[in-house]
Chains A and B, each alone.
Chain A
């Protein structure tokens, strides 16, 4: 023993150490609770942020794809699923001169199964820097119009170094820039000019390992921005009637669908969090009541030696606070590690726009989880504290003789 003074904290620590199994079990209960709180909070925040980012920056009102490929486009945009499909390139010119169309920009998708740079299949996306209004809103450190032949811009989650090379279909491509986080499939895609993309299609045919098809003079999707007054749904109907070989994805409808899914996930997360909160409160309350009952003699003796009931309550609360703070810290650390390490897998599995919040927001969320865990602990031990505070000292001492 050191020369330290006996304080409420020191006494609480000694009590917790003495009952180490009970202490560790309670820490685990609180850790699970704070883990779920933090994960749930981070997940719903990331989904909301992803959705807002996507609707705010996509720029396109409608997206035109070959008939039957609407889902593939959504999967490419949201799950970074590799897809290869083609439309006739002439469509871009025809659509761009339609009344109500402000701008139309083609994109060409080439699916790659594996690449040395990536842990998941990579989508190669060719775009036209001159007409593009989608990709450039996420570009940093480069003017997209200066993107040359054989040069690529990688998504934020593609493991490639600036100035380095990535290889697809046996061809080296120079990484000249990285995109900002998009919270979408773009994060694990590689962007290049249409000219480079056409070249990659040829390379895939020559490599014949995974032919990306005969893509000459073709595009995969046409991103269209309408003039302000134009109704996207009406424009979509018009395009489908005029070009029956196409499908049109209306961004507003897609976002509505995403919102519905997001609400379902949020409801599920809140439900699980609520249920776990109730379970945690009950488990902690039962354990604390049983434990306080077993310790009646100890509390009685402390009162007999001159402790005030307030001091005794303080001691009990100090013990629960230590347990809750330790448990919450463990839970938040574990949750942070898992949510960060597996963020890509989570995003891909959910198939929804997913954008993790900033460190500051994550810290606030961690603090909220910690406070909620502490609040849960305090609520749980209230009954025990009130009982101990009201019991007659001598009866407490004698009950366990």
Chain B
């Protein structure tokens, strides 16, 4: 479903030196996988995730989604992939402060013209996230955990094939982290492929494939069969 071939990203510095954040990574993610990538801050995991999400151009290598090379697409086609095939949960606060929670969740509907106004779908997702009562509130009125749930609901609104999450439990207490991870588990059980990166080793208990990233290189730590997925 998702294949990375010799993916590399090099950052140039102001002093003419360069830094390789992602170094020739190869990975093949199958439909229904729950992949967790762990690594310390600066190990290159977020850079890799953002290249997969179509947000950061690789220096070299390929990202194939269902066989199509993501970075050889034009802006319109890539936007379509980001909108309908990939659900993206960014790191940190990612809601638009001038929109209500309901509007935030249905925002991807607007970005790729659809006939529906997206309200029913957004409400259903808020209900699944157990935050339906927050629909008419604004992001500033929500806690960090609630905002993360809204961001997940937004990522799911267009029924993506893969959900990508960057440090989804950062800055959360243990209980909220567990809730969010259980939520990912539930989403995965519905057939959606999940790829998340984290520096918290505890949460890698959720997933069937665990990778470790260090100095831009990716190494598989363990690979559980689907039946043994832990969540």
Contact = CB atoms under 8 A, between A and B. Distances in A.
Interface of A: 1, 3-7, 11, 14-15, 17-18, 298, 300-311, 392-395, 397, 401
Contacts of B55: 300, 303-304, 392-394, 397
A304 B81 CA distance: 10
Nearest to B102: A1
Given A11-B110, A304-B90, A310 B98 contact: no
Contacts of A306: 79-80, 82-84, 108, 111-112, 158
A305 B56 contact: no
Nearest to A10: B110
B228 interface: no
A392 B57 contact: yes
Given A11-B110, A304-B54, A397-B55, 5 more contacts: A6-B106, A306-B82, A306-B84, A306-B111, A401-B91
Nearest to B154: A305
B75 interface: yes
A358 B137 CA distance: 52
Given A5-B110, A305-B82, A306-B84, A14 B99 contact: yes
Nearest to A17: B98
B100 interface: yes
Contacts of B103: 1, 6, 14
Contacts of A6: 103, 106-107, 109-110, 117-118
Contact of A1 (B53, B84, B100): B100
Contacts of B79: 303, 306-309, 311
Q: Is the interface of A mostly helix, strand, loop or mixed?
A: helix
13 contacts: A1-B100, A3-B119, A5-B117, A5-B118, A7-B110, A18-B98, A304-B53, A305-B154, A308-B76, A309-B79, A311-B79, A393-B56, A397-B55
B96 interface: yes
Given A5-B117, A17-B98, A310-B75, A392 B110 contact: no
Nearest to A15: B98
A1 B112 contact: no
A305 B103 CA distance: 13
B185 interface: no
B41 to A, nearest CB: 13
B50 A394 contact: yes
B98 A305 contact: no
A17 B108 CA distance: 21
Contacts of A3: 117, 119
Contacts of A311: 79, 111
A246 B117 CA distance: 84
A308 B75 contact: yes
Nearest to A8: B110
Question: Which of B55, B99, B102 has most A Cβ within 10 Å?
Answer: B55
**Can you list the 5 inter-chain pairs with the closest CB atoms, starting with the nearest?**
A306-B83, A18-B98, A6-B110, A394-B56, A394-B55
Given A305-B108, A392-B57, A14 B98 contact: yes
B170 to A, nearest CB: 12
A139 B187 CA distance: 86
Contacts of B111: 302, 305-307, 311
Contacts of B97: 18
A60 to B, nearest CB: 67
A309 B74 CA distance: 11
Contact of A305 (B75, B83, B91): B83
A301 B154 CA distance: 12
B184 interface: no
Contacts of A17: 98
A392 B119 CA distance: 31
B136 interface: yes
B92 interface: yes
Contacts of A310: 75-76
A354 to B, nearest CB: 48
B88 interface: yes
A102 B52 CA distance: 94
B92 A401 contact: yes
B189 interface: no
